[in-house]
Amino acid sequence: MPEVLKVAAESKPKAVAGALAAVLREKGKVELQAVGAGAVNQAVKAIAITRGFVAPNGIDLVAIPAFTKVMIDGEERTAIRFLVEAR
């Protein structure tokens, strides 16, 4: 089971990218979860930035998007889940 990083609309893409790169180097795959258009936007930016961070190490990324359900304040919400792993 990959580690899950939650991304919010207020998340800074560069900070998320740093965390994403660190987990990728350690575990080889990571899952990003984002609820809402703003959060999905920040997650996609973070994935793009992460590619630049890990490319010098010879790592190419692949991101697989999917829908998932998450519980927020006792309410079920639909989130976008990105499974990011090295190719």
- For the record, the structure tokens of 82 come out as 């990105």
pLDDT band with cut points at 50, 70 and 90 for residue 49:
very high
**Dihedral, 11, 49, 87, 7 alpha carbons, nearest 10:** 10
Tell me how crowded residue 5 is: count the other CB atoms within 10 A of its CB: 19
| pLDDT tens digits for range 17-45 | 999 999 998 998 999 999 999 999 999 99
What pLDDT is attached to residue 33? 95
| pLDDT tens digits for range 53-64 | 999 988 899 999
Matching residue, tokens 């697989």: 64
Domain CATH number, residue 66: 3.30.110.20
| pLDDT tens digits for range 74-84 | 999 999 999 99
**Structural domains counted in the chain:** 1
Of 86, 87, 77, the C-alpha closest to 6 is: 77
Task: Identify the domain containing residue 69 by its residue range.
Answer: 3-86
